[in-house]
Structure 1
């Protein structure tokens, strides 16, 4: 009846023999009376593909993801880009019959021109194609105002900004759901978007339900413009989350995930799956969270980590993750849920490098690595991205000026300083605002997003400038006394935010001593060799973000007699216009550091933080 070769097949033989015995001893109807197979037992696994801080990076960002090389060192792997990210996310999801894809905010804003020129509509459409389920709003989602953010969810071509929507195609809006539990409309007291969501998997006794809470950091209020501040308020993260856990549990959630646009930083050898010396804003939130939350997916700091938070606080055994920035990683997370006891019995995660295509940095060729697999670009997403790249090419490639040599964004031990690139930007901003009386201009290094590249003939394009300063922030010139200026400079070195030494214009020199108490670490300030007089008034230029207290520089809010100037990028473009002589950035060291060994955050540095 069955070939002997089939009966000997190692996978099929026993099944075939059983079927043969049944058919030999009676009619097939006997099969119907056989006892049903035992019900599945054990936990139900939910797979989660998590990302954060994509920032509209449709193309590979020419940035290396850092990871241990297995030999005690570190290697950089070219990573990121929407088409590669699409494949990586799909590969994570394919590992799990039940899965979610979530983002911890800043999908858009501070985006390269291929997305920014089109109001980040392509960033949303890429995420539709990737299959994103939920995005917790981040601070950059508010860059174009609340009405425009609402359009991102619902779609349509209403013109709500100074830029034209729907330039390439009709915009249908996000197929995924924005979550904003702590963003409250001042007009009616309701959340701007839903704060929570429920998603169920399986059936019958194997059915499990996952509850999600999504939110941004409360500090978003300091990172958005005054119109947004007047429309919505951002409430305490832990209080908001804790108030929602009981409701989700009552609605049947077996597991609770907090997706939050706030994060931390780690130290030591760069390791996307490590958690050494975790610091940052997320810790104050975790230490107050309801322990019925099982997983915290974070963002905002552009760091990558996987943390068992119980190693920091045994009473708060959360699994904490973050996937870096610009689609360089996707976090593969698994939650094992016992459907009988309705609780999570195991959880695990690791960051997967989205290895993309080689690129040339300022100093070397960054090639692919054999340490992690290559990712093949998704052809549908690649074709979609190509349309927007082509549409933006003329704008991106427009020559705007000249520079003697490319300038690298400060990283590593110089992170938190502006370096030569910061000197160039500050000098450009002073030049642009001298007519408003400016004698000093300062810029925040965290707002310097990329290195400033040049073309082979020393030409700088608008696209080159935009990658460095994508915010289009207006320059604000204000009056401060010398004492108020010192107060602002002390905020570089306080405990309110990561250390950040402002990059200031030529002639202004600071001397700092970290061994002194907070509030008294700036021990000298001179302008053109003359000590700053605490009682004298000075005209100071900063960008509008810093002028409004961004990055915790609240002393600048005291600035009087404010004059609004051109944008930061326009100032830099004007400064680079002259071709003879070609501009070169000053090598002047404008901060004299008496105790550099006491610097606390000269660790693994992301390509930009919090701005």
Structure 2
């Protein structure tokens, strides 16, 4: 698309009516049954005798969990898995807003009815180019992408509701001020937060829904985030807020939209599931594919009113385009486009002008790869260059050296070991009696990659890379826990709220135990196997434990960590990692990936 035609599209999009409330997002699915035989011939007469088709295809482009990844994400975070016709798989490099913009603009060409929606976590846990500037660069990029609407995600609350309101409405940051001479104007698109209420007023903190209109076609969007947001965000970030049930909220606002005459409805839900395959193009509706998706979104989808026509989801960073039956038993599209801008979902919603509803049997959807073999969008290149220039003095500083990629995935990851060891070392600086460190896996946002980036050399770890790994600015805290409490914490990894989706803590050197996946619930952690420096944990003894403030507050489903005593608050976790890398690596003696053998896994 030429620059001129893109600007015309932008102006045209802004002319769409914002109806009070209403949400927007994309739908997905591979429900490709044909329209009724008479559909293509059906038409109705408008004023002046003009005939239009009864059925109007509306393009819905959607993505989720961008997390401020403006530049192509590195390592495994920048690849997707593609299933081949012969059953094998291959990986494809993907992502980067310069390429995402080109793909979206090409997809819109020739489409007179096109909506672009997102499923939350557009910002938060972002790389330095965005996170250093409180994600203003990402909002600018999303404006240029012509995003129409998005749900909030849990990471939109990392800095609290006031900062989210600033991202929506604009203005300089309250403490950091303005970063450029240009005033930050905020998002051109509405953030939808139907189930996030102000505790005092009981009202949604942002619009609960939004209606997209063009000529006689109107589609409503309802946006929610996961009800458990307080369990995955710091207490300060959700202070004064109440998070309501996703199904109850969506069903409530679906009735509101219907009373306003809006019959076509898409739910943007920042909650997701796990598909049976990691391949983005896996057909989870194929015979023998089973349930297709497991996890929270499966139950949510089965209970949302049939008046909602499609679900755009997120949060789990998985890729799927599946159908799940609604309460009436009718298949309904449920989609997710992985994360970091590596994919987008292209859905066709067929609008029936006679009924004002979506003809669900004609909905078809597929995930598309944001490949890097297309021209870069010049406006995005300029945006990245602008913010990189401002970030360079901070981001390009070398903080350490590695001998190979240090992965961040797996039950126990080499990067998890490295971070836990760094926290233990810092803990001992604060208090020599510190015994061990625990790190939540969700706080490790990317791997460390060996290959050179830009002007840095192979194996150099820059501050920008460290920021991408640990962007939350959590403090490192020390707490006293009894041995009994420590054992309970390890069991909480696989029980309670973490029973269905275990959260395996990354542990420092010296702590070992066995995780027996043939068992269920808390029994998966073998109590007799838990040892510190070769000695069994004494339930009656007191242990000094280092962890970030999120865990120290009982976050991620670890209530026992919220019961620690004798708190001592240290510096931020990125500084802790930087200190460790600087002290323990050099160009001639880089850090090698660990064997990741502290947790023995029995399958």
Kindly tell me: are residues 457 and 126 of structure 1, through their superposed partners in 2, closer, same or farther at Cα, counting changes over 3 Å?
Answer: closer
1:302 shift after superposition = 0.8
Contact 1:289 1:316 in 2 (8 A): no
TM-score when scaled to structure 2? 0.84
Counterpart in the other structure of 2:478: 477
The aligned residue for residue 178 of structure 2 is 165
Residue matched to 1:330: 344
Hey, what's the Cα distance between the residues in 1 that align with 2:305 and 2:395? 48
SS in 1 for 2:539: coil
Quote the residue 1:378 is aligned against.
Answer: 377
2:239 maps to 1:227? no
State whether residues 208 and 254 of structure 1, in contact with CA within 8 Å, keep that contact through their aligned partners in structure 2: no
Matched pairs, number? 532
Alignment CA distance shift 1:146-1:480 (3 Å): same
Please report how far the alpha carbon of residue 548 of structure 1 lies from its aligned counterpart in structure 2 after TM superposition: 2.5
Deviation by residue 1:237-269 (Cα, 9 ceiling, x = unmatched):
111111111110111112111001111111235
One of 493, 496, 499 as aligned partner of 1:496: 499
For residues 368 and 594 of structure 2, the distance between their equivalents in structure 1, rounded to whole angstroms, comes to 40
Q: Are 1:520 and 2:523 matched, yes or no?
A: yes
> Which residue in the other structure is 1:293 paired with?
308
User: Which TM-score applies when normalising by structure 1?
Assistant: 0.83
For the pair 1:406 / 2:405, whether they are aligned, the reply is yes
Check if 1:443 corresponds to 2:457. no
Q: Are the equivalent residues in 2 in contact too, given 1:119–1:165 (CA < 8 A)?
A: no
**Does the C-alpha gap of structure 1 residues 213 and 156 become closer, same or farther in structure 2, counting only changes over 3 Å?**
same
CA shift at 1:152, angstroms? 0.8
Structure 2 CA distance for partners of 1:344 and 1:457, relative to 1, 3 Å: closer
1:509 paired to 2:521 = no
1:22 aligned residue: none
1:577-606 per-position Cα deviation (integer Å, ceiling 9, x unaligned): 13466544543611122x22xxxxxxxxxx
Q: Which residue of the other structure, out of 209, 214, 227, is the alignment partner of 1:196?
A: 209
1:608 aligned partner: none
Secondary structure in 1 matching 2:569: strand
> Residue 109 of structure 1: SS of its match in structure 2?
coil
Tell me the distance in 2 between the aligned counterparts of 1:422 and 1:232. 32
Find out whether 1:559 has 2:564 as its counterpart: yes
The question of whether the paired residues in 2 share the 8 Å contact of 1:497 and 1:552 is answered with no
1:55 corresponds to 2:67? yes
Task: Tell me if structure 1 keeps the 8 A contact 2:278–2:318.
Answer: no
Matches within 5 A, 1:191-270: 191-202=204-215, 207-268=216-277, 270=279
* Equivalence for 1:155: 170
**Aligned Cα RMSD in Å?**
2.1
Number of the residue aligned with 1:592: 600
Three-state SS of the structure 2 residue aligned to 1:218 is coil
Instruction: Tell me which stretches of 4 or more aligned residues in structure 1 moved more than 6 Å.
Output: 35-38
CA displacement, residues 361-402 of structure 1 (integer Å, 9 cap, x when unaligned): xxxxxxxxxxxxx33222122212221122212211101123
Q: Please, which moves more after superposition, 314-323 or 344-353?
A: 314-323
Seen in structure 2, the aligned counterparts of structure 1 residues 122 and 269 have a Cα distance that, compared at 3 Å, is closer
CA contact (8 A) 1:82 1:381 kept: yes
Kept in 2, the 8 Å contact 1:47–1:334? The answer is yes
8 Å CA contact 2:478–2:547 kept in 1: the answer is yes
Q: Which runs of 5+ in 1 are unaligned?
A: 1-34, 357-373, 597-611
Closer, same or farther: CA 378–404 of 1 in aligned 2, 3 Å = closer
Question: Which deviates more from structure 2 when the two are superposed, residues 424-433 or residues 548-557?
Answer: 548-557
* CA–CA separation in structure 2 for the residues paired with 1:256 and 1:442: 44
Secondary structure of the residue aligned to 2:434 is coil
Q: Do residues 133 (structure 1) and 148 (structure 2) align? A: yes
Corresponding position of 1:114: 129
Cα distance in structure 2, aligned partners of 1:518 and 1:179: 36
- 1:145-186 Cα deviation digits (max 9, x unpaired): 2211111111111x334x343346320111111110001011
Alignment match, 1:65: 80
Cα pair distance change 1:107/1:517, threshold 3 Å: closer
Q: Which moved more, 1:185-194 or 1:445-454?
A: 445-454
Please state how far the C-alpha of 1:487 moved relative to its aligned partner.
Answer: 1.4
Q: Which has the larger radius of gyration?
A: 1
How far apart, CA to CA, are the structure 2 residues paired with 1:459 and 1:258?
44
Between 1 and 2, higher relative CO (CA 8 Å, sep ≥ 6) is seen in: 2
Q: Distance in 1 between matches of 2:165 and 2:249?
A: 22
1:352 maps to 2:358? no
Gaps of 5+ in 2: 1-46
How far is 1:37 from its partner? Answer: 6.7
Q: Does 1:101 align with 2:109?
A: no
Q: CA deviation at 1:316?
A: 5.4
1:453 paired residue number: 449
Asked if the contact 1:418/1:444 (under 8 Å) is kept, the reply is no
What secondary structure sits across from 2:219 in the alignment? strand
CA contact (8 A) 2:306 2:327 kept: no
Pick closer, same or farther for the CA change 1:558–1:85 going to 2, 3 Å: same
Is the 8 Å Cα contact of residues 278 and 319 (structure 2) preserved in structure 1?
A: no
Which residue does the alignment assign to 2:416?
Answer: 422
* Residue pair 1:118, 1:164 contacting (<8 A) in 2 also: no
Query: C-alpha displacement at 1:315, in angstroms?
Result: 2.1
Q: Residues of 2 paired with 1:556 and 1:165: CA distance?
A: 38
